[in-house]
Structure 1
Amino acid sequence: MHADRLRFTREPRTTVRFTGTGKRKSTSHSDRTRLPDPVVPGHAYRDVEVVYHLGTRLVGEPETRRGDDDTDG
């Protein structure tokens, strides 16, 4: 995300959740340019950029759903 000007009216609260079934290993992080952590509410930040990285993978045995089988036809 890139913004010429960005201002927060209050300090943001963020969370990352992975929904769905199955066990997984997940990671996420962001690279910020000209945007401190934490931000100051009311302050205008100029020419900011946030690049968000997200990765997840299923681990372990696949779960079977009702009605699934290995037969053809």
Structure 2
Amino acid sequence: MARNTAQKQNSQQPASTPARPQNPLSMAPAPRTSPSHEQIARRAYEIFLARGGTPGNPEQDWFQAERELSLGRQ
């Protein structure tokens, strides 16, 4: 009788469970790609021109351009 009860309980369970994704990281959005050297150089030059072409700090222009492009701003 215990055997019959166990079979009845097993038969009431769903035949299959929903499939889970194999790798939860595969569902994550793709990482942003870094801006290219050329893109950064072009944006740094635009920053230089926006300043009126006056001498400044080229490294600061470069880092600002890199930051803006990495955040998707211009």
Quickly name the TM-score band, shorter chain normalised: under 0.3
The structure having more radius of gyration, on CA atoms, is 2
The alignment's TM-score, normalised by the length of structure 1, stands at: 0.17
Higher strand share: 1
| Greater relative contact order, per chain length (Cα 8 Å cut-off, separation 6+) | 1
Higher helix share: 2
Question: Normalising by the residue count of structure 2, what TM-score does the alignment of the two structures yield?
Answer: 0.17
